Amino acid sequence: MLATSSRELPLDLNDVVLVFACNELFVPYLSVALQSILVNVSPSRHYDIVVLTRDITPKSMITLTQQASKHNVGLGFLDVDAALGDIKLPHHGHFRPETYFRLLAPTLLDNVDKAIYLDSDIVVCSDVAELFDTDVTGYLLAATRDADTIGQIDGYDPTVYAYLKDQLGMSEPHDYFQAGVLLMNLEKFRQTITAEELLDIATERTWRWLDQDVLNKVVDGHYRRVHMKWNYLVDWQYMRRTHIVAQAPKDVQDEYDEARRDYRIVHYAGPDNRPWLYPDSDLAGLFWQYAAGSPYLEYLRDQLEKSRRTVDGMARRIKAVAIYRGIMHAFDYTCPAGTKRRQKFIEYYERFGGSVG
Domain boundaries of the chain, sorted by first residue = 2-296
pLDDT given at position 132 = 98
Residue 46 neighbours by CB distance under 10 Å: 19
Q: What is the signed CA dihedral for 137, 143, 145, 149, rounded to 10 degrees? A: -130
Strand order in the sheet with 265-267: 122-124, 265-267, 232-233
The answer to whether the beta carbons of residues 346 and 159 sit under 8 Å apart is yes
- Each of the 357 residues of the chain gets a pLDDT tens digit; together they read 789 889 999 999 999 999 999 999 999 999 999 999 999 999 999 999 999 999 999 999 999 999 999 888 999 999 988 766 655 565 444 445 677 889 999 999 999 999 999 999 999 999 999 999 999 999 999 999 999 999 999 998 989 999 999 999 999 999 999 999 999 999 999 999 998 899 889 888 888 988 999 999 999 999 999 999 999 999 998 999 999 999 999 999 999 999 999 999 999 998 777 999 998 999 999 999 999 999 999 999 998 998 777 767 666 666 666 666 666 667 666 777 777 777 776 666 566 555 555
C-alpha to C-alpha distance for 347 and 345, rounded to whole angstroms: 5
pTM of the predicted structure, to 2 decimals = 0.89
d(CA 52, CA 72): 20
User: Residue 10: which residues within 8 A CB-CB, separation 6 or more?
Assistant: 74, 76
Measured CA to CA, the distance from residue 114 to residue 141 in angstroms comes to: 9
Tally the C-alpha atoms within 13 A of residue 105's C-alpha that lie toward its C-beta: 34
pLDDT at 321: 60
∠ Cα 54 55 58 (to 5°): 115
- The string of DSSP codes covering 26-37 is GHHHHHHHHHHH
CATH no. of 2-296? 3.90.550.10
